[in-house]
Chain A
Amino acid sequence: MNEKLKIFTNGIFRENPVLILLLGCCSVLAVSVTVSGALGMGAALTFVLVCSNVVISLLRKIIPDKVRIPCYIVVIATFVTVVQRVVEAFLPELHKALGVFLALIVVNCIVLGRAEMFASRRSVPDSLLDGLGMGIGYTMVIVGIAVIRELVGNGTLFDIRIIPEGFQIGIISQTPGGFLMFGFAIALLVWCLGKKGKKFDPRIGCDGACGSCAMGCANRVYDLPAGPDAEKKEVQS
């Protein structure tokens, strides 16, 4: 049970998809201008992520290794199309606010990243929990950033005016403000996670599968000093 809980909370804190894995940043920067838009985006992404994780985990033994990425994309695109049609039909306002970013969930790095890194090699319940955790992690970040950006930059929350007209700092809701808040959010999370004893090591959540990874991150296994990963190091070389 503890193991399952860890998979779930990993996506929210230690392996937060946006702030630690740094995936799916473009939608976070673009859609975090209003809180309502951010909530909609978070919900849509979480739905797609959970569904695609489950389906890909189910199909993980059937999908041939060489064409796995196109297969993932087909699965993801299916669910994105479902979400898009539903939102367009029932929430036209939200559909207008999200614009192209709803369709762009298809190529959102978080969804594809979790399919490649997690769902394609883990059981269905694990993948479901991972998708849920990652989705909630994403939603928390984008809504958190949106609250500050809408409040400080526009003086409103859910389009209700809170700060009187003329006292908002416009740059926060513009593009530079998005990058600023994104940076502050990363710093805040790393600082919070590192409080117990030593500094937090943002080792990314990829199970150290460097052989099948083209990301070239700073934590590639064969670049690590001898330690728990020494065994893998030998395998690689």
Chain B
Amino acid sequence: MSRQILSVSPHIRSARTTRSIMLDVIIAMLPALAASAILFGMRAVYLTVISSGVCVLLEFLWEKLLKKPVTVQDLSAVVTGMLVAFNVPVSMPIWMLVVGDIAAIILVKQLFGGLGCNFVNPALVGRLVMMFSFATAMTTFTGSSGIVDAAVSATPLADPASYGWDSFFTLFLGAHGGAIGETCALAIILGGVYLCVRKVIKPIIPLCFIGSCLLFTFLFGGAHPVLQVFEGGLLCGAFFMATDYVTSPITDWGKVIFGVFIGFVTAVIRVFGNYPEGVTFAILFGNVLVPYINELTMTKPLGAIIPEKKKKEAAS
């Protein structure tokens, strides 16, 4: 299990393991973490470390309790924990963060069979549970001791029209309200490029996601569609969450469909929806469609003969 990466055949052996991939993902998230420490103060780092620790502990305890092989050394729980923390504001009480971790690790990951069996992204369900349970805490973006301070009250997405091109650098560098890991576009793009260079992810999903979100926000008449790319959780979601192996399509065309679809849903929610941000819902919606996308875009083996019966079914 640990040495296999699910992909389209033919398969090739390599030295990559789940652990080395997860380590790369952690490295890719470090710039965003550093940026959040500067922007929001050291509490952002504490929260991230605590969240990772709680996730690892939960996974360890669950597997011990059910007498399963312990898989915490593959570091996937660390990544999930970091992503959960990246999705909360810096002022989030710790016990609420732990509720999010429980939702992510126990509810989504372990109850469905552990790594590779979760049907949606664990960290995003963690975010969703916290969002529905602690709406006030999840949308109070007051900094503690960083650049972004108590003056900031809402994410730019709450009123995208008020952020014009003159605030481009504010948005790009992340000096505005938002969750810990999602505000600094520069750091996230750095991490994303690292993941692509290390060939941990293919850039297809992030590019299609961001591109289609941009296009549809423009088509639907959203305010400043280009700037909206740097607002909210779009970049963080596109690079770190939509590309999760388990919950994204395995074929390249599947990835294109997936990326365009979640970009479309994000734009719909951003422009027409009640919630300011739609990345979470969009990715989760895309996640549950992944098996169908995979089936739709499955490559045919060269020279394969389609059985008569199937042809007839397809014709009728």
A binds B: yes
Query: Which residues on A are within 8 Å of B, measured CB to CB?
Result: 167-172, 174, 176, 180
State A168–B135 Cα separation when bound (angstroms): 12
B107 to chain A: closest residue by CB = A180
Q: Which 4 A-B pairs have the closest CB atoms?
A: A170-B133, A171-B132, A171-B133, A169-B133
Please indicate the chain B residues that have their CB under 8 angstroms from the CB of A168 in the complex: 133
Binary flags per residue of B102-133, CB closer than 8 Å to A gives 1, else 0? 00000100000000000000000000010011
Indicate which residue in B95, B99, B132, B134 contacts A174 across the interface (CB closer than 8 Å): B132
Please indicate the chain A residues that have their CB under 8 angstroms from the CB of B129 in the complex: 169, 171, 176
Please indicate the chain B residues that have their CB under 8 angstroms from the CB of A169 in the complex: 99, 129, 133
Smallest CB separation, B122 vs chain A (Å): 15
Please indicate the chain B residues that have their CB under 8 angstroms from the CB of A171 in the complex: 129, 132-133
Query: Which residues on B are within 8 Å of A, measured CB to CB?
Result: 95, 99, 107, 129, 132-135
Tell me whether chain B's interface is mostly helix, strand or loop, or mixed: helix
Please indicate the chain B residues that have their CB under 8 angstroms from the CB of A172 in the complex: 133
Tell me whether chain A's interface is mostly helix, strand or loop, or mixed: helix
Point out which of A167, A170, A174 has the most chain B C-beta atoms below 10 A from its C-beta: A170
Tally of A-B Cβ pairs under 8 angstroms: 17
Question: What would 15 more interface pairs be, CB under 8 Å, given A169-B133, A172-B133?
Answer: A167-B95, A168-B133, A169-B99, A169-B129, A170-B132, A170-B133, A170-B134, A170-B135, A171-B129, A171-B132, A171-B133, A174-B132, A176-B129, A176-B132, A180-B107
State A140–B135 Cα separation when bound (angstroms): 32
Please indicate the chain B residues that have their CB under 8 angstroms from the CB of A167 in the complex: 95
State A169–B96 Cα separation when bound (angstroms): 9
Please indicate the chain B residues that have their CB under 8 angstroms from the CB of A174 in the complex: 132
State A168–B129 Cα separation when bound (angstroms): 12
State A167–B132 Cα separation when bound (angstroms): 14
Smallest CB separation, A176 vs chain B (Å): 7
Smallest CB separation, B39 vs chain A (Å): 27
Please indicate the chain A residues that have their CB under 8 angstroms from the CB of B95 in the complex: 167
Please indicate the chain A residues that have their CB under 8 angstroms from the CB of B107 in the complex: 180
State A110–B107 Cα separation when bound (angstroms): 30
A173 to chain B: closest residue by CB = B133
Smallest CB separation, B280 vs chain A (Å): 13
Please indicate the chain A residues that have their CB under 8 angstroms from the CB of B134 in the complex: 170
Smallest CB separation, B95 vs chain A (Å): 8
Please indicate the chain B residues that have their CB under 8 angstroms from the CB of A176 in the complex: 129, 132
State A168–B133 Cα separation when bound (angstroms): 8
Q: Show 12 residue pairs from A and B whose CB-CB distance is below 8 angstroms, ordered by the A residue.
A: A167-B95, A169-B99, A169-B129, A170-B132, A170-B133, A170-B135, A171-B129, A171-B132, A171-B133, A172-B133, A174-B132, A176-B129
A184 to chain B: closest residue by CB = B111
